[in-house]
Amino acid sequence: MAQSTIWFITGVSRGFGRIWTEAALKRGDRVAATARDSKTLSYLVTTYGESVLPLSLDVTNRDAVFEAVKKAHQHFGRLDVVLCNAGYGYMGAVEEVVAADAHANFDTNVFGTLSVIQAALPLLRTQGSGHILTVSSIGGVIGFPTGGIYAATKFAVEGMTEALAGEVAGFGIKVTIIEPGSFKTGFRSSMKAAPAMAEYDGVRQAVLGSFKPEMSGDPTATADAILNLVDADKPPLRLLLGTGPLPMIKKLYEGRLNTWEQWAEVSNAAQGSRAV
């Protein structure tokens, strides 16, 4: 009989974190589930018993992250999947954003993810196995007006995770960036917004108007994709979720390539001439 997969998941109180945690537990896996408020995990404990280890965790508390990962590893004996899901959106035009709030968004989305990864890596290297999943977004590939800081955090997660993949492959550790499109997860309820300036109201309305309700997918349908991902022998570095992101990304990169080609003469001249 195959042994169950052991997960460490942040941000389990709701949304994707909750859905993916329940999907893992329902199929017999075991999960160290973390959330800022451990009371939100009581249902999981009642339903799944000893298969779930509930942990109260604020990922911006680096010491607490290391302690939680250590406790999960000691409790289950190993960690197979480390899923860095905790995060939120901070929205506003770049001129509108409050610097302290921008720092706070990076503290959770980027440095919280970094702390979880750094806490888990020594354990995974010793095992010679493991799969690290970081949660990005379509906003980690495309920067949307009035979403610059949130996009910046997800761009950072993408770059950090891509570098990580090359660093740890030799240790038997797999790495995947999850890139969801728009889903009805209630994510917007956790968003924070900068004080609005009237000068950007037109841009803001145009962005909001471009997102139609029918574009948002069913978040519960993502569970099978995540389970397929962690079960794969050779998982991809990046996995898009939903039908919306790929057409948008294709259009984006076609435009980028065209621009780079059009300016290639100027770019190449910047190389300069090398004296013999």
Residues labelled catalytic: 136, 150, 154
Quick one: which H or E segment has residue 83? strand 81-84
Q: How many whole angstroms separate alpha carbon 157 and alpha carbon 163?
A: 10
Identify residue 3 by its one-letter amino acid code: Q
User: Six-digit token pair at 255?
Assistant: 């435009």
Q: How many whole angstroms separate alpha carbon 238 and alpha carbon 165?
A: 11
Give the contacts of 68 (CB within 8 A, at least 6 positions apart).
8, 32, 34, 55, 57, 119
Whether 174 contacts 130, CB under 8 Å: yes
30 torsion bin: left (phi>0), alpha (psi -120 to 50), beta (else) = beta
